[in-house]
Amino acid sequence: MASKNGDIPRIGVYVCHCGTNIGGQVNVPEVVAFARTLPNVVVAREYKYMCSDPGQMLIKEDIQKLNINRVVVASCSPHLHEHTFRKATLEGGRNPFLFHMANIREHVSWVTQDPEKATEKAKAIVEAAVYRIQFHEPLESKHVPVHPDVLIVGGGIAGITAALTLADAGKTVYLIERESSIGGHMAKFDKTFPTLDCASCILTPKMTTVKDHPNIHLMTYAEVLEVDGYVGNFRVKVKKKPRYVIEDRCIGCYVCIEHCVYKTPKHPSEFDEGIGLRKPIYIPFPQAVPLVAVIDPETCIEFKSGRCPKKCQKACREIVGRDAIDFTQKEEILEIQVGAVIIATGFQIFDPSRIPEYGYGRYPNVYTSLEVERLVNASGPTGGAIVLRDGRKPQSVAIIHCVGSRDRNYNPWCSRVCCMYSLKLAHLVRERTGAEVYNCYIDMRTPGKGYEEFYEKLLHEGVHFIRGKVAEVTDWTINPEEAGKLVIRVEDSLIGVVRRIPVDMVILSVGLEPRSDAEELRRLFHISCSAEGWFLERHPKLAPVSTYTDGVYIAGACQGPKDIPDAVAQAGAAAGEVLSLVDRGVIELEPNIAVIDARRCSGCHVCIALCPFSAIAFHAEENVARINEALCKGCGVCVGACPSRAISQQLFKDEQILAEIEGLLMVD
C-alpha cells in the first residue's frame, strides 16, 4: 500500500509498559506480536519506559537503520508525551507529524479490569493507529510573533506584584483596576498575619512604585469590555469610567472635599465597608493610588438635581488653582494590544446575611471580619479604636469561624485564610481593648510558615478557644448576666457540653468566594471555571497559573482562596510564565488547522458565521472563503458544516479518520 504522497509506508510500532501502569494490565508482548502482523509494519518493539532516553533512542535508531518513515507509540495520553515522541521522530530525521500516539493507558489499562479484554482493546487501538498513520503527511508548524506588551486585570496585591516584576524586566504593562484605587483587599487591613507587620507600610510603597513606573500604564476605574485575538496577539477594549475629576490635574489635596456642600460626610463609604462615611466627592483612603478625588453621581446633588452651587469645583479652581473637576466627563473606550494577559481579580467575601441565625444586619453589634479590619485600621473611621456602634468599648467578643465556608448549604470549601485572620483579630482585640475573646472554630487550620507559632502565641494571650460551630447569635437573654448582650450558643465539643456565652460584639469570619462577575470575565477571556466558580488552572500541581487558553494566566485569590504570601508567589510565577512567552518572541502553532480547497468552495458563507474564533474571511474577488492560519484553533466546526466538502482539517482528514475506524473494527 503506497501512501498518498507516494512513499511506501515503513511503520515502526513501540509499545510501552509504563512500568506496571500498562504492563500490569495489558499483555504487552502479545500486542507487539500482533503489531508485527499488521500491514507495512517493519518493526514492533516493547520497552519499559518509552519516554526515557533509551526508549526514544529506539525510535531514532530504527529510523536511521531500518529506514522507518512512520512512527506509532502505544503508551499514555498525547497530553503527556506527544511532544516528546514528535521530537524523537524529528531528531531521527523524519517530519514530526509522521508520528501518531495510541493511548493504551488512560483509555485501556487504567479503565479496564479484565487483562484479557484490556489486551484486546490495546490491539484494536494499535491497529487503528497503524491504519491511520499510512495517511499522515509531513506538515509544517506555523510560527507567529508575540506582542511584547502585557495586560494585567486587577490591581490587588497579586496584580501589583506581577506588574512590578514585568515592568522591572522592561516589559510594558497595562494594569486595569475596577475601583478608583489599586490595593485590593490588602489595602483595607491594618496588620497582616502571621508577622503582624503593618499592611500599608508594606503595600503603599509598592502602590506608589506602580504609579511612578515608566513601564506601567495604570488605568483605574476601568474595566475590560472586549477581548479579541489569540496568544501573542490580543486586542483588548477597555472602558474607563468617568470619575468627574481630571486625573492629570488633581493633586489629591482634599480641598474640594472640605468645600462640598455636605458639611459632614453622610454616605456609607464603600472602602470602609459602610462603617465609615464619605461625601459625594471623596478619596477612598489616604494612601489611595492614584491619589485623585472621585465624584459619585448617585449621591452628588449636581448629578441628581443640577442645582448644586458646585462649591467643590469652585474651590478647586479658585483656591487650589487646578480646575480639575469636570462634571461633563464621559466614559472613554481605549484599545490596547498585548501578547499575554494575567488575570488577578481576587475574591469577594461571603455575605453573612444569608445565614439568618447569625443576625448580621439585624443586631448592630454583629460585624463581618472585613468591617473589623476597618475598625482596627489606624486610618479607618475610628482611627483604630475597636468600639461598638454606640461608641462603647466591648468587654467580651466572640469570633465565629467558618461563616459561609465548609458548609454545604452555602460554600463547601475551606476558605483557608479565615482561621489565621481570626487569630489576628483576636490578638488585636485583646491588645486594644483587653476584652475576653472567644474564638469558636471547627478545626484550627494554621498550615504555613510561622502560622502554628502564631496560634501558640494566641494561646498564651489567654484567648478562649472553643471547638464548635456556633448555632445562633441571639438577643434573647435568660439571666441577668446576659442582659443587654448578644448570646452565642455553641457546643464546646472538646468538653461535650452546650454553652451560652454572652458577649458585646460578634465578629463573623466570613469566607472567600469567587467574585459575582467571575463568569463574565471567564467568557471574555475564554478561560474555564471550576464548579465553585474559581478560575481553573491548567494543572493543579504542575501548571497552577496557566489556563487552558494559551497566553492567559491567573494569579492570586481569583484562582482559589489564598493568603498574601501565596498570592504574591503566584503573581511571581505568572510573571515568569509571561516572560518566558514574551521573550521567546514567537509561538509555534499546532498545524491541525482547517484548509479550504478553493476549487471546491462555492462561496456560500456557511462556515464564516460558524467559526467560534472568527478565523474565516470572505474574499470577494475570488468568491471563496479563506482561513486565517494564525486564528484557526482546529476545532473542526467548519469542516463538518461545509456543504461543498471543501474544508479539510490537517491531522483529522476524512481518510485518516476513516482508516482509524477501519483499524478499530478489524479486531473482533
Ligand X SMILES: Cc1cc2nc3c(=O)[nH]c(=O)nc-3n(C[C@H](O)[C@H](O)[C@H](O)COP(=O)(O)OP(=O)(O)OC[C@H]3O[C@@H](n4cnc5c(N)ncnc54)[C@H](O)[C@@H]3O)c2cc1C
Nearest-angstrom CA–CA distance, 546 and 550 = 8
Q: Is 165 helix (H, G, I), strand (E, B) or coil?
A: helix
Q: Among 647, 536, 654, which residue's Cα sits nearest to residue 596?
A: 647
611 binds ligand SF4 (CB under 6 A): yes
Q: Smallest distance from the beta carbon of 418 to ligand X, in angstroms?
A: 7
Q: Which is nearer to another protein, 357 or 654 (CB)?
A: 357
Nearest-angstrom CA–CA distance, 71 and 480 = 85
Q: Which of 101, 163, 398, 632 binds ligand SF4 (CB under 6 A)?
A: 632
Distances in Å between the Cα of 113 and the Cα atoms of 7, 59, 110, 116, 668 are 41, 31, 8, 9, 19
Q: Which of 408, 460, 541, 599 binds another protein (CB under 8 A)?
A: 408
Q: Smallest distance from the beta carbon of 417 to another protein, in angstroms?
A: 19
Amino acid identity for residue 480 in this structure: P
Q: Smallest distance from the beta carbon of 400 to ligand SF4, in angstroms?
A: 9
* CB burial of residue 162 (10 Å; 0-12, 13-18, 19+): buried
Show the site string, 432-451: x = touches ligand SF4 by CB under 6 A, - = not.
----------xx-x------
Q: Smallest distance from the beta carbon of 202 to ligand SF4, in angstroms?
A: 22
455 binds ligand X (CB under 6 A): no
Distances in Å between the Cα of 144 and the Cα atoms of 83, 263, 339, 582, 586 are 19, 60, 11, 12, 5
Q: Among 96, 90, 106, which residue's Cα sits nearest to residue 133?
A: 96
471 binds another protein (CB under 8 A): yes
306: left (phi over 0), alpha (psi -120 to 50) or beta: left
44 binds ligand X (CB under 6 A): no
Q: Among 600, 606, 597, 603, which residue's Cα sits nearest to residue 638?
A: 606
Q: Can you read off the three cell numbers belonging to residue 414? A: 475551606
633 binds ligand SF4 (CB under 6 A): yes
According to CB under 6 A, which residues from 320 to 339 bind ligand SF4? 320, 322, 324-325
Q: Smallest distance from the beta carbon of 130 to ligand X, in angstroms?
A: 50
407 binds another protein (CB under 8 A): yes
Q: Which of 238, 256, 275, 426 binds ligand SF4 (CB under 6 A)?
A: 256
Nearest-angstrom CA–CA distance, 626 and 624 = 6
Nearest-angstrom CA–CA distance, 532 and 537 = 13
293 binds ligand SF4 (CB under 6 A): yes
Q: Which of 32, 76, 173, 370 binds ligand X (CB under 6 A)?
A: 370
Q: Which is nearer to ligand X, 127 or 223 (CB)?
A: 223
Distances in Å between the Cα of 394 and the Cα atoms of 365, 435, 470 are 10, 6, 20
Q: Which of 6, 462, 496, 643 binds another protein (CB under 8 A)?
A: 496
Q: Smallest distance from the beta carbon of 470 to another protein, in angstroms?
A: 7
Q: Are 26 and 104 in contact (CB under 8 A)?
A: yes
Q: Site residues (CB under 6 A) for ligand X? A: 153-159, 176-179, 184-186, 189, 192-193, 223, 344-347, 349, 369-370, 373, 417, 421, 424, 515, 517, 521, 556-557, 562-565, 567
Q: Site residues (CB under 6 A) for ligand SF4? A: 245, 250-256, 293, 315-316, 320, 322, 324-325, 401-402, 405-406, 414-416, 418-419, 442-443, 445, 509, 511, 593-594, 610-611, 613, 615-616, 627, 632-638, 649
